[in-house]
Structures are given as structure tokens and as C-alpha cells.
């Protein structure tokens, strides 16, 4: 995990009691990032069941928990607690994302995701995904809500959807419902870079 995704442990204690609103915002933010509960749990050292309870407003998260989630999701703690009180410092927002301002929102198992979608986009979420040699989405196929569309910018990728495996090369594109069991991996000696779009619902 990169330094930007390591969770600091000091200076965060207590609890936050506006749990229902925070839970909704966290779920919306997680799905907009294209992350499953398991992926977010892996980045924060929180359990899947704990995250699920927070998202559903069943428990009041501690400040430590919200802080860990804010780091993993690439937003400030203040935005999660009270988004109306936070003003953006990005002069290009909400319509443009500069290449130098892309936020890394996932790094695990040789796969790194940078968010390229501007704030105004709600229906579609775009990423630049880099898959290192031997990097993969995991050993097991997985599913989630939504649809996916992608084009290979460089390198090559093996895409598994249900019982079918297909190698996609530079310039190739693919799309499929995210509800189908799927996984991907890079079995070459060079990085693969993909422009990947998710429709969260």
C-alpha cells in the first residue's frame, strides 16, 4: 500500500453521532470510487461488517474510523462530517480534473486506481488503472452493482468474465455488467494502463 493510503493512528478519538447522514455519504463516495466493501476494508483495516453497519447508519462511527475512511477515499474528514462547510480549493472544479490533480483512491495487489472524474459527474466514474506485472484484481472472481466500460491505453490484460477468458491489447475495449463474476490480471513483464469507467448503479 502506498504512503498516501497508510492510515495514521494518532490524534483521532471520540465518536460522531450524525451517523445516518455520514453513512449515506460514505456509501455514495465508496460506490462512486468503484470500490467494494471488501476493497475499502482492506485499505482501512476495518472489518466489512463494521463498514456495512456504518453505511447503513446502524452505528455511530468513531472519529478514528471516519479519519481512516477519509484518507482511503481521498477526501477530508470535514467533508464527510459536514460537506456544506467545506469549499473546494480547486479552481477547475467541478468540471475539470487536471492530470496533476488526479487522486489515487486504490492501491493493492499491484493495481492502482486514480480518479479522473470531475465532481459534477454522478452517473459515471472514470479511472486510470495501472496494473503492474503480475498484478491482479485478486484470485477470485467478484461481482458488484453497475456496468463497466474500458479501453486499454498500453500493455495487455487478461479479462475473465464467468467461464470465459480473453486477452485484450492496446486499443482494444470491453464492456460488461458488473453483476457478472469477473476478474483481471497482467501476466506480462510491463505495466498495463487502462481507462476504466464504472456506472455505480
Query: pTM for the full model?
Result: 0.64
C-alpha cell at 123: 452517473
CATH number 3.40.50.300 given to 99-199: no
Q: CB under 8 Å to 146, separation ≥6 — which residues?
A: 31, 177, 178, 198, 199, 200, 201
Q: Which residue has the cell 506480462?
A: 188
Over the stretch 1-38, which tens digit does the pLDDT of each residue have? 333 333 333 333 344 444 557 888 888 888 878 888 99
53-57, 130-134, 177-181: least confidently modelled range = 53-57
The CATH number of 3-85 is 1.10.260.40
* CA atoms within a 13 Å half-sphere pointing along the CA-CB vector of 44: 26
Over the stretch 141-199, which tens digit does the pLDDT of each residue have? 988 878 999 999 999 999 999 999 999 999 999 999 999 999 999 999 999 999 999 88
Cα torsion 38, 42, 46, 50 to 10°: value is 0
Q: Where are the domains of the chain?
A: 3-85, 99-199
Amino acid at each position: 500500500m502506498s504512503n498516501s493510503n497508510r492510515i495514521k493512528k494518532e490524534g483521532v478519538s471520540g465518536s460522531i453521532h450524525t451517523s445516518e447522514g455520514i453513512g449515506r455519504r460514505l456509501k455514495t463516495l465508496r460506490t462512486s470510487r468503484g470500490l467494494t466493501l471488501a476493497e475499502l476494508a482492506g485499505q482501512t483495516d476495518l472489518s466489512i461488517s463494521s463498514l456495512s453497519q456504518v453505511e447503513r447508519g446502524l452505528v455511530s462511527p468513531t472519529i478514528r474510523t471516519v479519519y481512516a475512511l477519509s484518507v482511503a477515499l481521498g477526501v477530508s474528514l470535514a467533508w464527510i462530517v459536514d460537506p456544506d462547510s467545506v469549499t473546494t480549493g480547486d479552481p477547475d472544479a467541478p468540471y475539470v480534473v487536471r492530470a496533476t490533480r488526479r487522486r489515487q483512491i486504490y492501491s493493492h495487489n499491484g493495481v492502482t486506481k486514480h480518479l479522473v472524474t470531475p465532481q459534477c459527474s454522478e452517473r459515471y466514474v472514470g479511472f486510470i488503472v495501472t496494473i503492474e506485472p503480475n498484478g491482479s484484481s485478486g484470485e477470485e472472481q467478484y461481482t458488484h452493482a453497475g456496468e463497466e466500460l474500458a479501453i486499454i491505453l498500453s500493455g495487455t490484460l487478461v479479462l475473465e468474465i464467468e467461464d470465459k477468458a480473453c486477452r485484450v491489447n492496446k486499443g482494444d475495449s470491453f464492456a460488461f455488467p458488473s453483476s457478472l463474476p469477473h476478474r483481471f490480471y497482467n501476466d506480462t513483464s510491463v505495466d498495463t494502463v487502462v481507462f476504466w469507467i464504472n456506472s455505480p448503479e
